[in-house]
A and B are shown apart, each in its own frame.
Chain A
Amino acid sequence: MEMRSSLRRVQGLGSAKEGVGHWWAERLTSMALVPLVLWFMASAVFLVGANHAAFKAWVGSFGNGLMLVLFIIALFHHAQLGLQVVIEDYVHGETAKMALLIAVKFAFFFIGAGSVSAVLHLAFGN
């Protein structure tokens, strides 16, 4: 005889609204990246061949610094989510898959944090 309640039985089995977490995060970051990419590409036009002082001044302005940090966070989060799907689809060995997933997640978090830190250094450092 089944002693557990129906609720107990399904708990931990279904998505409980978290199964779409990856999908949802991918969409949110992609929506954010539409204006951010257009802003970045338009800005890059004016930074072709810029010297260090001009670049530092550009990064150091409040609006640009803010947009850059938003761009970096959305970009690296989105990239890492996308690579996760590709790895899960094409790498079949469980050990290799896990190792690659962990490596990619760590690498993108590290590089993303490094990029933000570079922006902060340019804006506030001397």
Chain B
Amino acid sequence: MSTRSRPRSPHLQIYRPQITSILSIAHRLTGVVLAAAALLLTYWLASAAYGPESFARAQAFFGHWFGRLILFGVTFFLFYHLCNGIRHLLWDIGWGFELPRLRSSGVVVVVASTVLTVLIWFAPYIVAGKL
């Protein structure tokens, strides 16, 4: 059977990016990155299990500007995935499928994850009494 090769859906190149589709792929993307970032948690715990020297090295790495940059990114990804995950759970119980609510809940997710990220990165300075 000869069939012409027709464009197949979803034809991402010609779709106008929308908040719904962008946040959807972002959920996957952040999930994959966070799965990799889970290795940092293992490294942290394992370095402590190995002893004070290796733990000091791990703490120095996380305290270095490069380590902090990674952790900051991971924090934002984590809070995004958490907030959007709650959005997913709400959909699972049938809440918020109307288009306007779909968009507004998406905005809430982005704002909430940004605010949470900034807040938690200020918190250690407050704890240390430097603010």
Which A residues lie at the B interface, using CB under 8 A? 27, 30-31, 33-34, 37-38, 41-42, 45-46, 48-53, 55-56, 59, 68, 72, 75-76, 79-80, 82-83, 86, 108, 111, 114-115, 117-119, 121-122, 125
In the complex, which of the residues B31, B34, B75 contacts A41, with contact meaning CB atoms closer than 8 Å?
B75
Q: How far is the CB of B131 from chain A (nearest CB, A)?
A: 13
In the assembled complex, 9 residue pairs joining A and B whose CB atoms fall closer than 8 Å, in A order, are A41-B75, A49-B124, A76-B38, A79-B38, A83-B35, A118-B48, A118-B49, A122-B49, A125-B49
The complex places the Cα of A79 from the Cα of B86 at a distance, in Å, of 16
On chain A, the residues within 8 Å of B88 by CB distance are: 30
A86 close to B32 (CB less than 8 A): yes
Looking across the interface, which residue of chain B has its beta carbon closest to that of A37?
B82
A52 close to B82 (CB less than 8 A): no
Q: How far is the CB of A52 from chain B (nearest CB, A)?
A: 4
A118 close to B78 (CB less than 8 A): no
A30 close to B89 (CB less than 8 A): yes
Interface contacts (Cβ under 8 Å), in number, total: 87
Q: A50-B59, A82-B31 are in contact. Are A59 and B48 (CB under 8 A)?
A: yes
Looking across the interface, which residue of chain A has its beta carbon closest to that of B62?
A48
B123 close to A115 (CB less than 8 A): no
* B residues 20-77 in Cβ contact with A at 8 Å: 28, 31-32, 34-35, 38-39, 41-42, 45-46, 48-49, 51-52, 55-56, 59, 63, 75
The complex places the Cα of A48 from the Cα of B63 at a distance, in Å, of 8
B59 close to A27 (CB less than 8 A): no
Q: A45-B120, A48-B124 are in contact. Are A119 and B52 (CB under 8 A)?
A: no
